[in-house]
Amino acid sequence: MAIVDLDRDAVKSGLADGSVLLIDVREPNEFAGGHIPGSVSFPLSAFDVERLQALIAADGRRPVLSCAAGVRSARALQYLQSQGVPLAEHYAGGFKDWANAGEAIE
């Protein structure tokens, strides 16, 4: 399964219409220092596949991973796919792209 890179417009649109569950895999201190509104923290350092699958199942929206610049979210997707979890989408620019574009942050 391939990794699908989403841009800021696709993520922003999905958040606005409520179709995207944006999962931020940065560390808790990074998330606390600023994050994309509506995203949920799920640090890569404490990654638990079953807990992630439960979160996604309970939420029901389309899961999209995000990090600072797209490296960790792509790594997380590769790991998930190796574990048989069919997730493929991530925000390729990540938080840095979002913040540098002047988008709102929490």
Catalytic annotation, residues: 67
Count of Cβ atoms closer than 10 Å to residue 35 Cβ: 20
* Secondary element (H or E) of residue 52: helix 49-59
Q: Using CA atoms, how far apart are residues 64 and 33, in angstroms rounded to an integer?
A: 21
Say if CB 99 and CB 51 are below 8 A apart: no
